Every structure is written in C-alpha cells, then in structure tokens.
Amino acid sequence: MSMMIRPEALTGYKTREFKMLIDGQWVAGQEGKVIDRLSPAHGVTVSRYQSATKPDAERAIAAARRAFDTGPWPRMAGAERSRILLKAADLIEGRKDELAMLDTIESGKPISQAKGEMDGAVDIWRYAAALTRDLHGESYNTLGDGTLGVVLREAIGVVSIITPWNFPFLIVSQKLPFALGAGCTAVVKPSEMTSGSTLVLGEILMEAGVPAGVVNIIVGTGPDAGAPMTTHHDVDMISFTGSTVVGKLTMSNAAQTLKKVSLELGGKNPQIVFPDADLDAFVDAAVFGAYFNAGECCNAGSRLIMHKSIAGDVVSRIAELSRNVKVGDPLNPETKVGAIISAQHLGKIENYVRGAADGGASVALGGEAADLGMGQFMTPTILTGVLPEMAVAREEVFGPVLSVLTFDSLDESISIANSIDYGLSASVWSSNMDNCLAVGRRVRAGTVWMNTFMDGASELPFGGYRQSGLGRELGRHAVEDYTETKTLNMHVGPRTAWWVPR
Ligand code: NDP
C-alpha cells in the first residue's frame, strides 16, 4: 500500500550544518569542500557537512594517537570510563528524538523504526559500560613455585571505525562504546550520506566527559577519508561495517601494517520453512524480514527456502500481507517501508529484479519502483521460481525483494542454504526440534533464529561466517575484542637454575 509524499512534509526544516570533530574541536575540512545530503524521500537538503580528505584523516589519526599514547583515557580506572559511558547513554536517551529524526531524513528509514533503533543503541551503551568494569586478564599460579604468570588485557590502541548508511547510529553504537570501554581512542567515519547522528554523538561524548582527541569524527567519501584510515601506520585496528567488496579492500589495506581487522559485511540470509511450522507467525516474520528497513539490511531474510508442499499457499499469504505494508513518507509514524537511500541504489535493485525475470523467475508481487510524487521508493517485491544459481539468490540486493526457493528434504534445504559465499544469519521454522537443531547446527551462519526472526540482544554476539565478515560484535567479549593480550612471566624467589653451568 503506497501513500503519496506531501510536498510540504519538510517545509520549515532548516538544513543542519555540521563540522568535523578533531582533537576536541569542531573544525572545517582543510580543502573547504562541503557535502550536501538530500532527504531521499523529500528531495530537500537536510544536512551540510564539511568534507574530509587525506590531510583531515591524518590530523584525526594524529589526535587519536596522542590521546592514546599520552592522554588520560587508557590510564583511567575502568569504573571511571564506565561512568562516562553511562552518562553518554543517558544523554543519547535524552536526545533520541533528534537522533531518530536525523537518521530518518538522511537515510529514508521510518521514524517509528529509527526511534526503536535509538532505544537499542542506549541499551548497547549501557551494556558496554557494564563490561568495561569487568575487563580483566588471567593469572597462572600453577606454573611452579618459581613462576607467576599474569595475562593482561591492554587496549589495542587507535581504532578506525567505518560505518555504512543503513543503520547509522545503531552500527556506530555496536563498535564505539566497546572500543572506548577497553581504553582505545578512535577515528570514526560514518557514510557521507548519513553522518548527522554520528556527529551529534560527538557532541554527546564531549558533554559526557570523554577527553579531547579520544573520539574524532570525520565525514567524507570512502576513497578520500576512509582509505587513509585503513592504511595509516598509526592505526592499530579497523572495525568496518559495509559491503564485502570494501571489506576485502580494507583487509588488504590493513595487511600492509598488519592491523587487527573486524569486519561485519553482507548477508543473503536463508529462512528455511517446514510444513509443520506455525505458518501464521512465519508469514508475518517473512514480511518483516524482507521489507524491514526497505530490505537495506545485512540481516534481511531475503532468501526463503520453503518445503515444496507448502510453497504455493504460503507465498500467496505472504503476498496478501505484503499488500498491506505501508510504503511512504518515513516521517509518517504508520510507514513501514520508507525511501531507498539513493536513485543509483534504486536502479541496482530494479536491475536485480529484471535480471531474475529475464532468467525465468516470476514476479509474484511488485517488481518496480513506486512513484510517490517525489523521492525514490521501491514496492515490496516477491520473486518465485528462483533457482539457487541466480544472482538474486546469491547476492545482496539490499532492497525490499524476497526470493523464493523450494526444497524436498532437510538435507537439500541445508545444502541450498550453504551454497553461497555469505553466512551472516539464518532462520528455521518448524515445530519439530530435530529439524530446528539440525538446521541450527549445520547451517554455516553466525546467528540462527529458531521460530523467530531478527530478534537481537546486546548480550548475543553478532557477525558472520565466510564472506559475511570476521570477528563478532556485541556479547560479553565485545570489549575484549579491542584489546591486546600481554603476558607477564615473573620469576619468584632466588634463582636456582643457570644457563651457563657454574
Ligand atoms: P560501502 O562498503 O561502500 O560503504 C561502507 C562504508 O565504507 C562507508 O562509510 C563508505 O564511505 C566506506 N568506504 C567506501 N569505500 C572505502 C574505501 N576505499 N576505504 C575505506 N572506506 C570506504 O557500501 P555502500 O554504501 O557502497 O553499499 C554498497 C552495498 O554494500 C550495498 O548495496 C549492500 O549490498 C552492501 N552494504 C552492506 C552493509 C551491511 O550492513 N553489511 C551496509 C551497507 C552496504 P562512503 O559511503 O561515505 O563513501
């Protein structure tokens, strides 16, 4: 169900002008270039950024390096850093409407969803604060009377954090508080299309008491501002979320100086459905999984793998429910599917659909852009008769497009699920625990949901197998991920053994 955009929807909205945060100061880019961001739903300039190039990235890295090598942050007690993170969480909560609005008008995501993401982010900052107090190493008092072994966890150093446009505030919140909790300093580069909420986070962190230089935020394109953050000698670790292509490039850049790399990349997530599943629950989850965030989601449940005996009936029910999904102005609290991030990206989505239809798939629903009078939107789309070898079954479409494949046996469902390069998440739907556990154990994915979809919690690790990434975010080891391990091997008591005989 599409709703036209009211041209006056953003009337009176004043374009926000942002500077970059380097060494505790709000500064302009050295080359004086600016980037204008238009709301993808309304076509109005909503944000203007200073655009960073290599010299700005280098200044930011130098500030982070100084703050790490000589500043107070890594030397503070964990309890003190934790207190500051908790204050930041409170401030985020206090500004959540403003943050949600920025993410909505820059990315096109529905406002009700953006507010939910802010609640999730606040919880993550609080969770990171709790872990910060518990960061500890190990001791070995079992090495004999003459030896004591202590294993320290030390902050790894300067971290480059590079984030994409689909969940601007949530994704930076999956990285930065844990890096800060460990005692690291950071240079953050959000997507140049959705940098507003991350820059507001910079204001919040300064107000919370994070010292100058600990968090630096630059805005700019990947090649100009992001690439130096992946190659610079003074950066110790990179935490990246985005496409698998740029993830690989990042890893290869990092190899020159052997930086630690954490990558959260794409997904083409299978939902395996058996005939004995609660199909009412599944149909709702299928619609949610495919169209949430307009499908611009690494976790999108974009690949249905359904038992042949139920596929026809269940697809009809999914199509029926899909027709009730409200597509329209992201500022309308009832909207479920907002705008597509850019016209170029919409073209990419349409190409995937066209390619599938040309290859023999059927368009059971949608299949084209929605004309809502302005902005760019895509109608919820269902493709049936998709074969495992088609691009639309193997690649990330990143749009509201559901591909339906079928299976005869449990083994076949798992083999289809594992037949692609991605392995971020999966779900299985069945009332038989044997089916659920067989899929849960054999599907190669970082998260497997059973009879549910895309539920998350700060306590649960998130990340991918194979080309969906490296490492895990969230979970109880999330602060440790930003540390180095150091061994202190101590001799105790008088020396009794000599290398040179005496
Ligand atoms: P990218 O991987 O290009 O962008 C992610 C981040 O990396 C952005 O901040 C981007 O900057 C930055 N970047 C781009 N090039 C470089 C570089 N050479 N060095 C360092 N940083 C760089 O994703 P796109 O935005 O182009 O999206 C393309 C596709 O990627 C999508 O269609 C989707 O399939 C997938 N994707 C997956 C995401 C996920 O959550 N796993 C998130 C986003 C995209 P900037 O954009 O400002 O130039």
Closest atom of ligand 1 relative to the 468 alpha carbon: 41
Is the pTM value of this prediction over 0.85?
A: yes
Ligand 1 binding site (Cβ under 6 Å of any ligand atom) = 162-166, 189, 191-192, 221-223, 226-227, 230, 241-243, 246, 249-250, 264-266, 298, 396, 398
Which of the following is catalytic: 298, 350, 473, 480? 298
In whole angstroms, what is the distance from residue 147 CA to residue 487 CA?
12
Task: With beta carbons less than 8 A apart as the criterion, state whether 51 and 18 touch.
Answer: no
Exposed e or buried b for every residue in 14-52, given b needs 16+ CB within 10 A? eebebbbbbbbeebebeeeeebebbbbbbebebbebbbb
> What's the CA gap between 181 and 177, in Å, rounded?
6
Beta bridge partners of 384: 362
**Among residues 169, 222, 159, which one has the least CA distance to residue 191?**
222
Residue 9, pLDDT score: 80
- What pLDDT score does 278 carry? 98
| Residue with CA nearest ligand 1 atom 46 | 191
State the DSSP string of 380-426. Answer: -EEEES--TTSHHHHS---SSEEEEEEESSHHHHHHHHTTSSEESEE
Q: For the chain, first and last CA: distance in Å?
A: 90
Whether the Cβ atoms of residue 73 and residue 179 lie closer than 8 Å to each other = no
The CA distances from residue 146 to 107, 149, 152, 337, 492, in Å, are 61, 10, 20, 66, 5
Whether 446 contacts 468, CB under 8 Å: yes
Q: Output the residue whose Cα is nearest ligand 1's atom 6.
A: 164
Residue 243 alpha carbon to ligand 1 centre in Å:
5
Please work out, in degrees rounded to the nearest 5, the angle formed at the alpha carbon of residue 356 by the alpha carbons of 5 and 399. 35
Q: Whose CA is nearest to atom 40 of ligand 1?
A: 298
From the candidates 264, 296, 396, 480, give the one annotated as an active-site residue: 264
Tokens of 493: 């008591």
Mutate to test the pocket of ligand 1, among 49, 161, 246, 392 (most ligand atoms within 8 A of CB): 246
| Distance of CA 232 from the midpoint of ligand 1 (Å) | 19
CA of 191 to the centre of ligand 1 (A): 7
State the residue for tokens 């909790």: 181
- Residues paired with 404 in a beta bridge: 304
Q: Which residue has the tokens 């969770």?
A: 127
The tokens describing 17, both together, are: 């002008």
pLDDT of residue 437: 98
- In whole angstroms, give the CA distance from residue 269 to residue 447: 10
227 C-alpha to ligand 1 centroid (Å):
12
Helix axes of 196-208 and 78-94: crossing angle, nearest 10 degrees: 130
| Residue 436 a catalytic site member | no
Q: How far is the CA of 171 from the centre of ligand 1 (A)?
A: 13
Distance CA 222, CA 189 (A): 9
**265 Cα to the center of ligand 1, angstroms:** 9
Site to probe by mutation for ligand 1, drawn from 47, 54, 191 as the one with most ligand atoms within 8 Å of Cβ, is 191
| 141, two tokens | 């008092």
Q: Which atom of ligand 1 is least distant from the CA of 247?
A: 2
What does the pLDDT read at residue 5? 81
Neighbours of 351 (CB within 10 A): 13
Tell the residue nearest (CA) to atom 32 of ligand 1.
398
Separation of CA 320 and ligand 1 centre (Å): 34
Going by alpha carbons, the residue nearest to atom 38 of ligand 1 is 242
Rounded to whole angstroms, how far apart are CA atoms 345 and 351?
10
Q: Which of 237, 281, 279 is nearest to 257 (CA)?
A: 237
SS3 (DSSP) at 365: strand
pLDDT tens-place values along the chain, 502 residues long:
788 887 678 888 899 999 999 999 999 999 999 999 999 999 899 999 999 999 999 999 999 999 999 999 999 999 999 999 999 999 999 999 999 999 999 999 999 999 999 999 999 999 999 999 999 999 999 999 999 999 999 999 999 999 999 999 999 999 999 999 999 999 999 999 999 999 999 999 999 999 999 999 999 999 999 999 999 999 999 999 999 999 999 999 999 999 999 999 999 999 999 999 999 999 999 999 999 999 999 999 999 999 999 999 999 999 999 999 999 999 999 999 999 999 999 999 999 999 999 999 999 999 999 999 999 999 999 999 999 999 999 999 999 999 999 999 999 999 999 999 999 999 999 999 999 999 999 999 999 999 999 999 999 999 999 999 999 999 999 999 999 999 999 999 999 889 999 8
Concerning whether 298 is annotated as a catalytic residue, the answer is yes
Contact of 220 with 90, CB cutoff 8 Å: no
Pocket test for ligand 1, best of 33, 162, 341 (most atoms within 8 A of CB): 162
The distance from CA 443 to its chain's CA centroid, rounded to whole angstroms, is 22
Residue 316 CB coordination number (10 Å): 14
Ligand 1: which atom is nearest the Cα of residue 246? Answer: 2
All residues at 6 or more sequence positions from 420 whose CB lies less than 8 Å from its CB, including other chains: 268, 388, 393, 394
Burial of residue 202, with CB atoms counted within 10 A of its CB: 0-12 exposed, 13-18 middle, 19 or more buried: buried
Q: Which atom of ligand 1 has the smallest separation from the CA of 221?
A: 48
Give the distance (Å) from ligand 1 centre to CA of residue 393. Answer: 21
Q: What are the start-end ranges of the H helices in 331-385?
A: 343-358
Closest residue by Cα to atom 43, ligand 1, is: 242
